[in-house]
Amino acid sequence: MSPKDTFFSHKQSLNCRGRILGFRQPLIMGILNITPDSFYPGSRQTEPEQILQMATEMISEGADILDIGAHSSRPGANEIPAGEELQRLEMSLDIIRRAHPDILISVDTYQSELATRVVRNFGVDMINDISGGDMDPEMFSTIADLQVPYVMMHMKGKPADMQEHASYQDVVKEIIFAFSGKLQKLNRLGVNDIILDPGFGFAKTIEHNYQILRQLEAFHIFNQPLMVGISRKSMIYQVLDSNPSEALNGSTVLHTIALMKGANLLRVHDVREAREAIKLVGKTFAQ
C-alpha cells in the first residue's frame, strides 16, 4: 500500500449526533486538559478564561474536534473522584458550548456515568475511552444507548500501573486481537461509529510504540477510522534526550509518518503545526 493510497483512503463516516463526520482527508483533535497534572505543562488549563482562550485558539487554527479531559492519564497517575472529574467537565463544557456551539466535542473519560451526563446535559458528540471499556463494564452498553461515536483505545491495566503490563509477544498482533473481540461486542450492541486508537505510550515501551508506528497500516484491516495520539510523548522526547516542552518538532515528524501510513485523526497539542503537516502531505500525494 502506497502513501497516496493510505492518505486518501475512503474511511467510513461517523454520525455525530446527526452531523456526518467524513474522513476523506485526515482530521485534527485538539487536546484540552482540564487538570493540573497532565504530562505536558503547556496543555494544562484550570481557569475558565484559560480554558476558553485555548479552545478558541485551537478552533481558529483548524481543530475539527476538541477533546476535553478532566483527569490525567499519564503513567503513574491515580484515579480522581468521579465528582471532581464531573465538576471540572461541567465547568469547561458550559463555557465552550456557550462560545462555540457548533464545535464537535469529545470527552476523555472511562466512566460510563460521566459519559451519560456530558452527552445528555451538554450535547457532547463523542466519548474517548482510554481503557477501551476495561475500566467500566457498563461503557459499551452506555455508548449503545447514547448512540455517539466511541474512540476505543488499547491499554492494559490502569494509568497508575500500566507500564507494569508492557509485555507482549507481538504488540501489533495482540492489539489487533483485542480490538477484534471488542468490535464484535460493540457491533452486537448496535454500535458502529467507532474510532480505533492503538494507545501509544499506554502499557507500551518505547520500542513497542515504534513497532506500532512502523506497522500502522495493519490496523486498516478493520476498516475503521484510525486515531494516532503521539503528540509530545516520551517516545519522542526520550529518544531525543529532551522533554515534552521541546518535543514539537519531533511530534511533527512522527505525525507526518503516521499520516503517510494512513492515520485518519491526529490527537494533538499543537493544532496549527498538525494542520500544516496534513496540508503538505496531502499536497505531496495529490493527483
Please state, for a pLDDT cut of 90, what percent of the chain lies above it.
76
Catalytic residue annotation: 233, 267
**Where do the domains of the chain lie?**
3-284
Reported as a pLDDT band with limits 50, 70 and 90, residue 71 is confident
CATH architecture label of 3-284:
Alpha-Beta Barrel (3.20)
Full-model pTM? 0.92
pLDDT at 253 over 90: yes
Three-state secondary structure of the chain:
CCHHHHHCCCEEEEEECCEEEEECCCEEEEEEECCCCCCCHHHECCCHHHHHHHHHHHHHHCCCEEEEECCCCCCCCCCCCHHHHHHHHHHHHHHHHHHCCCCEEEEECCCHHHHHHHHHHHCCCEEEECCCCCCCCCHHHHHHHHCCCEEEECCCCCCCCHHHHCCCCCHHHHHHHHHHHHHHHHHHCCCCCEEEECCCCCCCCHHHHHHHHHCHHHHHHHCCCEEECCCCCHHHHCCCCCCHHHCHHHHHHHHHHHHHCCCCEEEECCHHHHHHHHHHHHHHCCC
Confidence band for 83, pLDDT divided at 50, 70 and 90: confident
